[in-house]
Structure 1
Amino acid sequence: MEKGERNNVYRVYDKIAAWFAENRINGLLEQKYLERLISLLPKNALVLDLGCGTGKPILEYLSRNNMAIIGVDASEEILKIAQANFPTTTFILQDMRLLNLKRQFDAIIAWHSFFHLSAAEQPAMFARFASHLKPGGILLFTSGTERGEAWGMNGGENLFHASLDPKEYLDLLQSNNFTVIEHVEKDPECNYDTVWLAKFG
């Protein structure tokens, strides 16, 4: 390993699950994007939270707004915490790279999760996103601002992140029948996240 686990970042989350649960920002910096998402969805929409973590704060917020949610994460330890937090929610242990739920959703959220895949692995995800969305479904995800890799310390462990170039994301979205609704780079109101919102079909 170079600096840490780069191929299966969920193994790092297994190590730092308790730390992450205590230190993940629970303030809803993402709220305006979640509100935008909700405004585009039918009532009682079915949402896939891909890389759901502990379920706080995103899954929790969507649940309070009458969304039906299924949470997917590859970290077994993180999902134990999520299930304890939300006992009535369905959680599935699965690597997003192997996502095959055989059902379609009104929306998919991959917030601070998709970017843990390498640049080589990210393009294939767009066909998986498309196959799990209903026509008119919405995809919300975060990325970097340029092609490259980055590492960040969390709970004493080095976490791997990667990004494609914005044009690559745009091309991938378009070639998989998505239309970009919104793309904001380094939003200062949202912890300088770079956010994509796209419609399928």
Structure 2
Amino acid sequence: MASDDERENVYLVYNKIAGWFSENRPTELIEKAHLDDLIYHIPADGHVLDLGCGTGQPILQYLISKNLKVTGVDASKEILSIARKNFPESEFLLEDMRHLHLNQKFDAIIAWHSFFHLPINDQPAMFELFEKHLNINGILLFTSGTELGEAWGMNGGENLFHASLNTENYSQLLKQHHFKVLKHVVNDPDCGHANVWMARFCG
């Protein structure tokens, strides 16, 4: 079992498995339909903040292929070093998303299979950070669970922590922080059974 520190800071586990993750993370773009929805709602030259960007493949890679500017953020220095080698022209920041203060606003924020690594108690505060870093009418795209609880998964021989609020909690947090839900897809069979949220920041 992972240590308490690795439970609170999952990026420490990603530092251990960075090479394995880079080699084994599926590169088929099963997220394409959701990314295309996001692209539809933002300017053609929009700037996207990819929180928990990993190695940049395949999501950041797809977005830059669509001529969007993407800033990648990850708290794992080992993962980020791979991302920088993969995409040397892109901007990457070594940051814990929970402490993000960029003094910059974006047209979209993506937290795809990253936000759900945060402990339950840390997740509500993220919605204020999402709010602070989005332009009016900006789009938030993230994945979550559907029920309140914690789970562990095995990746690269290491235990990896996941947590979720319940669906009503997320709905309330989005409303509280001035987001309008554009879609909520549960257990998407075409996207690895992900639970996907897309919301517009209304200001």
TM-score normalized by structure 1? Answer: 0.98
Residue in 2 that maps onto 1:195: 196
Residue in 1 that maps onto 2:19: 18
Residue in 1 that maps onto 2:51: 50
Residue in 2 that maps onto 1:109: 110
CA distance in structure 2 between the partners assigned to 1:165 and 1:174 by the alignment: 15
DSSP-derived class of the 2:120 partner: coil
Q: By how many angstroms is 1:45 displaced? A: 0.2
> Structure 2 unaligned runs (5+)?
none
Residue in 1 that maps onto 2:160: 159
| Deviation readout 1:120-154 (Å, 9 max, x if unpaired) | 10000000000000000000000011110000000
| Deviation readout 1:20-64 (Å, 9 max, x if unpaired) | 000001000100000000011111100000000000000000000
Matched residue type, 1:102? N
CA distance in structure 1 between the partners assigned to 2:66 and 2:159 by the alignment: 35
CA distance in structure 2 between the partners assigned to 1:42 and 1:8 by the alignment: 34
Backbone CA RMSD of aligned residues: 0.7
DSSP-derived class of the 2:7 partner: coil
DSSP-derived class of the 1:69 partner: strand
DSSP-derived class of the 1:108 partner: strand
CA distance in structure 2 between the partners assigned to 1:13 and 1:90 by the alignment: 20
CA distance in structure 1 between the partners assigned to 2:60 and 2:2 by the alignment: 31
Correspondence 1:96 to 2:84: no
DSSP-derived class of the 2:190 partner: helix
Q: By how many angstroms is 1:197 displaced? A: 0.1
Matched residue type, 2:61? E
Q: By how many angstroms is 1:174 displaced? A: 0.2
Q: By how many angstroms is 1:3 displaced? A: 4.1
| Deviation readout 1:66-103 (Å, 9 max, x if unpaired) | 11000000000000000000000000000000011110
Residue in 2 that maps onto 1:27: 28
DSSP-derived class of the 2:81 partner: helix
CA contact (8 A) 2:2 2:158 kept: no
Matched residue type, 2:175? Q
DSSP-derived class of the 1:62 partner: helix
CA distance in structure 1 between the partners assigned to 2:134 and 2:84 by the alignment: 24
The within-5 A match list for 1:73-152 is 73-152=74-153
Count of equivalent residues: 200
CA distance in structure 1 between the partners assigned to 2:120 and 2:37 by the alignment: 28
